[in-house]
Amino acid sequence: MQIKHNLDSIKATLSEGVALCAVSKYHPEEELIEAYNARQRIFGESHVQELVRKEAALPKDVEWHFIGHLQTNKVKYIAPFVSLIHSADSVKLIREINRQGERYGRRIPILLQLHLAQEDSKYGFTIEECWRWIESGEYKELNGIDIRGIMTMATYCDDEMQWRSEFRKAKAFYDELKGNSAFVSSYSSFDIVSMGMSHDYRVAMEEGSTMVRIGTAIFGERNYG
Ligand SMILES: *Cc1c(COP(=O)(O)O)cnc(C)c1O
């Protein structure tokens, strides 16, 4: 019952229109089912094998989101069913998602992952790289993807001002893209700003997030063993 309780408390704090992606990576199927029974339908995973296993075990009306770094050679395993890939972090990966989308006759929903954090370890496009790619016009040729918005992760630190400034930059970039009618009219809708995790989602919502990705605050600490 703890999971239901945690979900209810988080939902009570979400701003209107903000969707909740329950990050279930490293947690066993039974815990996902507990969340499902508490009416949660969006789950986020960051490993392909684990996602494929859980997709087979849970009811078919779950929306599976992929949120981790995705290797190009593994896109094919999730391409038939994934509802949203938050972590489109390179042109090479976008091309492969597109290829698999065309192969399966679908436009796979993706978010452009931005790298604004100070760590070297985070994947993603810088804002300049992203503009350069959009200006190349290549996106017009890619009919196997549906770009639905952006995703970012703030620098992992205790400094709320730091998170806030990164979220604000991401949202400003999203707003600019949203104003580019040639770009947004290529997609079914362009309306997702995926930002905020357990420790920083309140700040992310204040800065315009429309989708938060919360794991620990729902399922507890992950057991990486
Ligand atoms: C693991 C993960 C989360 C969830 O983090 P919590 O701190 O457990 O809420 C969110 N986003 C991404 C990209 C993650 O990898």
Lowest-confidence pick of 20-29, 40-49, 114-123, 163-172:
114-123
Q: Give Cα separations from 184 to 91, 129, 214 (angstroms).
A: 18, 18, 27
Residue closest by Cα to atom 7 of ligand 1: 198
d(CA 76, ligand 1 centre) in Å? 23
Block residue for tokens 């790289």: 129
d(CA 178, ligand 1 centre) in Å? 26
Assign 129 a pLDDT band (cuts: 50, 70, 90): very high
Encode 205-216 in three state secondary structure: HHCCCCEEEECH
Q: Give the residue-averaged pLDDT of 78-104.
A: 98
Q: What is the pLDDT of residue 24?
A: 98
Q: Give the residue-averaged pLDDT of 192-217.
A: 98
pLDDT digits (tens, 9 = 90+) for 7-49: 999 999 999 999 999 999 999 999 999 999 999 999 999 999 9
Ligand 1 mutation pick, 9, 66, 115, 197, max ligand atoms within 8 A of CB: 197
Nearest ligand 1 atom to alpha carbon 46: 15
pLDDT digits (tens, 9 = 90+) for 50-66: 999 999 999 999 999 99
Q: What is the pLDDT of residue 124?
A: 96
Is the pLDDT assigned to residue 163 strictly greater than 80? yes
CB atoms within 10 A of CB 128: 8
Nearest ligand 1 atom to alpha carbon 216: 8
Ligand 1 mutation pick, 213, 216, 219, max ligand atoms within 8 A of CB: 213
Beta strands per DSSP E along the chain: 19-23, 42-45, 63-66, 84-88, 108-114, 145-152, 192-194, 211-214
- Report the C-alpha gap between 158 and 66 in whole angstroms: 26
Average pLDDT of the chain to the nearest whole number: 96
Q: What is the pLDDT of residue 224?
A: 83
d(CA 55, ligand 1 centre) in Å? 19
| Percentage of the chain lying above the pLDDT 90 cut | 95
Buried b (16+ CB within 10 A) or exposed e, 204-218: bbebbbbbbbbbebb
Q: Give the residue-averaged pLDDT of 192-208.
A: 98
